[in-house]
Structure 1
Amino acid sequence: MNKHLHIVCLDVPCPSDYGCAIDMMSRIRAFRKKGIKIHLHYFEDSNKCRTRELNELCETFEVYERKAPSECLSINTPFCVSSRCNETLINNINKNNYPVLLEGLHTTGIINAISKNNRKICIRMHNVGPIYYKELARQTSNPAKKTYFLAESLLSQKYLPTLPRHHMIACVSEGDKKYFESLEFQNVHYVPAFPAWQTVDSKTGVGNLCLFHGNLSVPENEKAALWLLCNVFNKIRIPFVIAGKNPSKSIQKAADLCQHTCLVSNPCDKEMDDLIEKAHINILPCFSKNITGASLKLLHALYKGRHCVTTPAMVEGTGLEAACHIGTSANAIAAIISQLYYRPFEEEEIELREKLLYDTYNNDVNVEKFISYLW
């Protein structure tokens, strides 16, 4: 008997140029590998377009536009949710009684309208909304963005308890799981992130640069890039590359002033893979005070790169501490980089990563956690 599944994505999942998209797209591939027939629904981003792979993986797909702020401002619902409440989407899903996977808090505004005939619904929580938006507000200096992020944090905190308690909630970390259990949701599970990489392909030997990568339009990543430029690589004369999506003018200006630094804007997947593989050190500091979600860029570096240098917050609760070199200050990070830059990356470090990653981040195994609930 064929199994059909509606998947509602907050954004087009391919090309997968940020962590949430990687998680969503890898899960689509994993469902398809298990023979599930996927009916994909996603919200359009004008800067992206659907790729041929989605045609090959999905039985059907539907594209929807987000509402403008003037159409959906609410004192009870965050804009990320209200802007995706779409009657056409509801009608398309209600044409049958297939189970539904809602990707992110963003897509849950339709949940009461599609909860009929004992339909199985799972919510994939990519993070804890109130914590996530509060951290974004803390790390941006832009007054308009700070106000928006604080409003989303407060509204998310107000909105979350209104969700039905019985549907499955799949969290990407044990910490997130505890948060939703504290709200008395009845069916909360830890299901790790779905990386696009399933084998450790790190190269032994010595690379030729240090690399920071990430979505540079996100305040946390912008702050990390500027911190590295102004506090670490002003101390050490080692080739440094910053690569990622939509770098701000602040990053561009700071990189231009640093003679041994190169900025790579909006690299494609292949270009990013090449940079991570060629780097001798992947540097990924994190300054979040409250940790939520999962870092796909850390997994990318561990599956594809050589040495990985980070701060305690990046690896907290991941179990991946042993695979990273951890510094707690700019001076400590600079010292670690100086020591590692001439140290070859060895085979035993690859073996350690395989031991740490393979059991936890096995997409074939983890997709079964969704399948066992949805059917």
Structure 2
Amino acid sequence: MTRTLHIISHDVPYPLDYGGVIDIFCTIRALHESGISVILHCFDYGRGEQAELNRYCSEVHYYTRQEGHKGFSFKLPYIVSSRANCALLERLLQDDFPILIEGIHCTYLLNDERFRKRKMALRLFNVESCYYQHLYRHERSLIKKAYYLNESRLLKDYESRIAGTIPVLTLSDRDRNIYREKFNAKSVHTVQAFLPYEEVRSNEGIGSFCLYHGNLEVAENEKAAIWLLQEIFLKLKIPFVIAGRNPSSRLERITGLGCHTCLVSNPEDRELNDLISKAQINILPSFNETGVKLKLLNALFNGRHCIVNDQAVDGTPLSPLCHIAESPHAIQRVVQQLYHLPFGEEEIRLRKKILHEHFDNKRNAQTLISYLY
């Protein structure tokens, strides 16, 4: 007998051009391959309908997100209130299939008494109140800083209210512990991210540059890129490439200060994967410790040496696969040690062991299903 599941996604989960939708799309595909009939509900605010989703879903429904003042609320976080949709709620009430809510963003239905006895689970991307606090700290625009600070305040209260009302599934043990200890979640478990990579494809030998990649529109990522330039690579004179979406003119200007540093704007998937595989070192510090960094997992599955800080791997099983350094001096020293060190069979063997143990989509799909049926 086919089991059916509703999935609510905060965005249209295709194409696979940022971490949040990559995980959701791969979750849908893994559940489909496990025999689950998926009814997908997603909020569209610019990506449009995607035929690829019909390959893995029995139904796909699109809803308009109420952006700007139409989605504003004094009591609810904007990421939640802007996704309040009566048509979605009425459609969900037509049956009693379980509901997987992807992200705090899609939890408006938890405020509706009609769903109190429904079988549901909430899958988190991050501890959103912490994430928005980090966005506030790293943002330069005063208007955006005010928005992020207020959103973080609303999210902290909102997360504490809903944490005990629904089973919560986190991407990292750190986030699980925050929900358990800070928000008193009654049922919270870690289910690792679902990935588009099935095999470790890292090349042995030596690459020809160091690489940082990420969505450069995000203030935290731009800050990390500029920090690496100013504190590490404009001093080391080792070839350094920054790749990502929509870099600012400020980042372009700072990158241009070095004759050995360059910026690759808006690389397509094939170009970015080529950069990751050819780099000698993927260097991916993080200033935000929540969630799990899919760009780091991409580098571990497909690249050579990886340098990170503690925040990038805290609460994950990835520490043994990375070189960890915190200060600029420590990172410089590790870069100099690794730049001419061949990446070898032993490192690849360890990656296969740990990544396949924790990031097997088929096994993780069965774990996810166990919380829904």
Task: Deviation per CA, 1:323-366: give whole Å up to 9, x if none.
Answer: 11122211221222122111111000001111221111111111
> Contact 2:8/2:99 (CA < 8 Å) preserved in 1?
yes
Distance 2:352 2:260 in 1: 33
Could you tell me which amino acid in structure 1 is paired with residue 73 of structure 2?
S
Could you tell me which amino acid in structure 1 is paired with residue 117 of structure 2?
N
- Mapping of 1:79-118 within 5 angstroms? 79-113=78-112, 115-116=114-115, 118=117
Q: Equivalent residue for 1:139? A: 138
Distance 1:167 1:283 in 2: 37
- Mapping of 1:1-375 within 5 angstroms? 1-46=1-46, 48-113=47-112, 115-116=114-115, 118-163=117-162, 165-182=164-181, 183-288=183-288, 291-375=289-373
TM-score (ref. length: structure 2): 0.95
SS of the aligned residue for 2:358 comes to coil
TM-score (ref. length: structure 1): 0.94
> Contact 1:90/1:114 (CA < 8 Å) preserved in 2?
no
Structure 1: unaligned runs, 5 residues or longer: none
> Contact 2:292/2:313 (CA < 8 Å) preserved in 1?
no
SS of the aligned residue for 2:234 comes to coil
Distance 2:199 2:35 in 1: 22
Distance 2:256 2:114 in 1: 53
Could you tell me which amino acid in structure 2 is paired with residue 84 of structure 1?
R
TM-fit CA distance, 1:189: 1.1
Task: Deviation per CA, 1:161-180: give whole Å up to 9, x if none.
Answer: 33273422101111211222
Task: Deviation per CA, 1:51-86: give whole Å up to 9, x if none.
Answer: 442121111111111113322322221100000011
TM-fit CA distance, 1:117: 8.1
Structure 2: unaligned runs, 5 residues or longer: none
Distance 1:340 1:372 in 2: 43
Task: Deviation per CA, 1:117-153: give whole Å up to 9, x if none.
Answer: 8321111011111111111111112211111111110
Q: Report which stretch shifted further, 143-152 or 318-327.
A: 318-327
Task: Deviation per CA, 1:271-291: give whole Å up to 9, x if none.
Answer: 221111111110101233xx2
Q: Percent identity?
A: 43
Distance 1:145 1:237 in 2: 35
Q: Once superposed, what is the RMSD of the aligned Cα atoms? A: 1.7
Distance 1:115 1:22 in 2: 31
> Contact 2:8/2:106 (CA < 8 Å) preserved in 1?
yes
Task: Deviation per CA, 1:257-307: give whole Å up to 9, x if none.
Answer: 32222212222222221111111110101233xx21111111111111001
Could you tell me which amino acid in structure 2 is paired with residue 370 of structure 1?
L
